[in-house]
Structure 1
Amino acid sequence: MSTEPSSPVTDGIPRWQDFMIPVLKVLSDGTPRRRRDLIVAVQDVAELTAEQRSVQLNSGQSKIENRVGWALSDLTTATAVRRPVRATFEITELGRKLLQKHPLGLDRNILATIDAYRDHQSSKIPTSSQVAKPGAETLESTLSPQEQIEVGIDLIHADVSNNLIERLRASDPAFFEQAVVDLLLKMGYGGAEQRGKRIGGTGDGGVDGVIDQDPLGLDKVYVQAKRYGEGNNISRETVQAFVGALQGVGASKGVFITTSSFTPFATGYASSVPSRVILIDGERLAALMIKYRVGVQVKESYDVVELDEDFFE
């Protein structure tokens, strides 16, 4: 099972440093612009598609807004842009010179020739990317600092996901069934009273767990859990047997969870039956366990801060 994070460049969005020239172009008419209006204008200058403008980071922030924000931060540090009032930006004479001299693009190497920027950078602890070979494109030059954090977290989650699935596959069937019920309860099923239990074992009627959705147990969600190895995918017949088990207990809702995957025929069948059956494969199972902290614990927490403009108003 592969849980590697997707490539950060597949969306075609320019690197954060590539937004510096569009920012200067927008501001070159001399009109101060508020941050939000500036970001919209920069997207127009960069000719970004609606799809690109909708891309979000894991935090929920717009990727473009994040990258333009870091471009603004470096331009402000270099005194190419200034803030005449809170959350408003305008170009400086230095900014106009940079735009005229480097119309095809700016990067940190060019900004490093400016005293204000160089003095600011020299006070920071150098990163591995800052001491990389000259001319090499580094993670820092491609992604904004916040995106670098998210990529690191994705890599950690990918490793933990693989370990989770390995441990679940090696666990006792009863343990896995209970883990699945625990996960659904942590996701909010079962209500405030956490009404759910494992019922797997001999004579389980083809279901491994049940969750009551109301105090009287009138609305139930039944669960099937299968510990299968990679490549041993759940077939249409297995899902069909689960649907039959649901009908046998008069249920209309079911969740089928596995540590492997489902065949296309299985997913197609599940989407075509009247019963509401949700299929969760190993990759999604691991992601949900990490999200809802089942089988994992928080090792470290980090806060990403930004300037509080209201404080300086």
Structure 2
Amino acid sequence: MAKKSNAEFVKWFGPVLDALRDLGDSGRPREVYSRIAKNLAIPDEVLDETLKSGASRFQNQVAWARQYLVWEGLVDSSKRGTWTLTEQGRATHLTEIEARQIFLKWVAIHAEARKGQQVQEVVDPLQEDEDAAPGQVATDEAVDLLSTLRSLSPSGFEKVCRELLRESGFEKVEVTGGTADGGIDGHGVLEINPFVSFKVLFQCKRYAKGNLVSRAQVGDFRNAMIGRAEKGIIITTSGFSAAAVQEANREGAPQVELVDSEKLVEMFERVELGLKKRTVFDVDLAYFEKYR
């Protein structure tokens, strides 16, 4: 989209509701993204397009659509985890015209809130270069953490990934590295229960924003792990191309778990590794709107 002033993300309002209905009225963000892509047969070049921040433009737009649906009371307001249709949302089917009316309504509400200084700041989604996104796609903490991780040395990033895996329940985690590692940066053991455990190999890719891990790289990693471990993980500070995701989940081949920048931030936050927790309260304009 040449200019976000055209609010292209409005076109996803209806597809978000449809995708959630298809998923049984609720779903994880990644499930919603995948369902929309499947329902609308979105080409890989669209799914692989990124913002300046390195985040997926498609996912960013869908997250903005979800945010407006939250304000409108069609999707539950939970900021993390599962996206869930409200009772009103389950019965709502939106045309693009109706979606644009919702968009314009909330643009006006936020403009009035800024004018009356009822909120300190409202992120303006009308700016094309706006890398911030609502909900899970981008937060201030996510941006700062990713910038820090991308500033590490390659070996430093491998070591911090080792600590992340340890904090996440892996045992005997070691970084091997080296130029002759066959694409393997380290290994560990994940114990499911006292009777079952898996050896896991991992690869760390400290990529700059927008530099996606390719299908060939996923295939090369899988080839390197065959016969050496039951499971493989690729961790990156960027993302994966649509073809890479397909390759990682290809039937008949060992599955490779993919950890992109968004999931990586979630993992750091879950175990609070290298992070200091803080609480921030934002005004919920949707709540107060019914009292106007």
| TM-score, length basis structure 1 | 0.48
Aligned to 1:10: 68
Counterpart AA for 1:200 = G
- Greater Cα offset, 282-291 or 224-233: 282-291
Instruction: Tell me which of the two structures has the higher relative contact order, counting C-alpha pairs closer than 8 angstroms and 6 or more residues apart.
Output: 2
Q: Which of 185, 207, 219 is the matching residue for 1:208?
A: 185
Is structure 2 residue 246 aligned with structure 1 residue 268?
yes
Q: Deviations over 1:48-79 (max 9, x none)?
A: xxxx47x35147798969xxxxxxxxxxxxxx
1:176-235 residue CA offsets vs partner (Å, 9 max, x unmatched): 1121122222223x2xxx331212223323211211124899621111111111222111
Aligned ranges 1:178-217 → 2 under 5 Å: 178-188=159-169, 190=170, 194-214=171-191
Counterpart among 268, 285, 288 of residue 289 in structure 1: 268
What is the distance in 2 between the residues matched to 1:297 and 1:242?
34
Q: Distance in 1 between matches of 2:201 and 2:278?
A: 33
Residues 97-116 of structure 1 aligned to structure 2 (within 5 Å): none
Among all aligned residue pairs of Structure 1 and Structure 2, give the percentage whose two residues are the same amino acid. Answer: 28
The count of corresponding residues between Structure 1 and Structure 2 is 185
Q: Distance in 1 between matches of 2:113 and 2:151?
A: 43
1:222 corresponds to 2:201: yes
Matched, 1:175 2:153: no
Supply the AA of the counterpart residue of 1:287.
Answer: E
Q: Counterpart of 1:119?
A: none
Q: Distance in 2 between matches of 1:165 and 1:252?
A: 29
Is 1:57 matched up with 2:57?
no
Q: Separation in 2 of the partners of 1:174 and 1:236?
A: 24
Distance 1:246 1:8, change over 3 A: closer
* Aligned residue type for 1:186: E
Counterpart amino acid of residue 206 in structure 2: R
Q: Is the 8 A contact 2:67 2:135 kept in 1?
A: no
Q: Structure 1, residues 139-188: CA drift from partner, whole Å, max 9, x if none?
A: 69xxxxxxxxxxxx969x71121121122112111111121122222223
**Partner Cα separation in structure 1 for residue 200 and residue 150 of structure 2:** 24
Aligned residue for 2:68, secondary structure, equals coil
Larger Rg: 1
1:272 Cα deviation after fit? 0.4
Instruction: Give the CA deviation at 1:277.
Output: 0.8
Which segment is superposed worse, 198-207 or 239-248?
198-207
Deviation per residue, 1:262-293 (Å, 9 max, x gap): 11111111110521211111122122212321
Match of 1:163 among 133, 137, 144: 144
- The TM-score normalised by the length of structure 2 is 0.51
CA distance in 2, matches of 1:59, 1:270: 25
Flag structure 2 segments of 5+ consecutive residues without an equivalent: 1-53, 88-111, 121-133, 282-292
Question: For residue 254 of structure 1, what is the aligned residue in structure 2?
Answer: 232
Structure 1 counterpart of 2:259, which letter?
I
- Return closer, same or farther for 1:264/1:139 CA change in 2, 3 Å cut-off: same
> 1:9 & 1:275 partners in 2: Cα distance?
37
Match 1:279 to one of 247, 253, 258: 258
SS of 2:249's equivalent in the other structure is: helix
Q: Could you say what secondary structure the match of 1:272 adopts?
A: coil
CA distance in structure 2 between the aligned counterparts of 1:7 and 1:56, rounded to whole angstroms: 13
Q: Aligned partners of 1:169, 1:205: CA distance in 2, in Å?
A: 23
Give the aligned CA root-mean-square deviation in angstroms.
4.0
Deviation at 1:239, TM superposition (A): 0.7
- Residue type matched to 2:69 in 1? D
Closer, same or farther in 2 for the Cα pair 1:230/1:131, shift >3 Å?
closer
Gaps of 5+ in 1: 16-51, 66-128, 141-152, 303-313
Q: Indicate conservation of the 8 Å contact 1:223/1:254, yes or no.
A: yes
Secondary structure at the counterpart of residue 78 of structure 2: coil
